Amino acid sequence: MAERRVTVGWPEGLHARPASLFVRASTATGLPVTVAKSEGEAVNARSMLAVLGLGVQGGEEITLSAEGEGAEEALDRLAKLVAEGLQELPETV
């Protein structure tokens, strides 16, 4: 299983629009991706309700995990999206 720890770059955290972007990007990987707060339980990163339920704030660290072929590359793209607080999905997601 591949993992990345990343600090959330969106000032508002993983709420509303940023969460929607993150969930869409996670779904686009085609892999089972999870996200967790520091010591918390991991949730399905392809579920908007699960991601919103984490209550992640801007500047908090989260852990992204994925399994399967291409997991390392997929997590690199997701980590960049989260860390940079991008406002649109990159075309390479």
| Sheet architecture: strand order including 61-66 | 2-7, 61-66, 33-37, 43-44
pLDDT single digits (tens) 39-58? 889 999 999 999 999 999 99
The residue from 2, 3, 12, 15 that is catalytic is 15
Residue 93 pLDDT > 90, yes or no?
A: no
What is the number of residues in the chain? 93
**60 and 7 in contact (C-beta within 8 Å)?**
yes
Domain 2-84, what architecture?
2-Layer Sandwich (3.30)
- Can you read off the two tokens belonging to residue 60? 């908090």
SS3 76: helix
Q: Is beta strand 43-44 parallel, antiparallel or unpaired with respect to 33-37?
A: antiparallel
pLDDT at 68: 96
Residue 91 pLDDT > 80, yes or no?
A: no
15 in active site: yes
In this structure, the dihedral spanned by the alpha carbons of residues 60, 39, 62 and 34, taken in order and rounded to 10 degrees, is -150
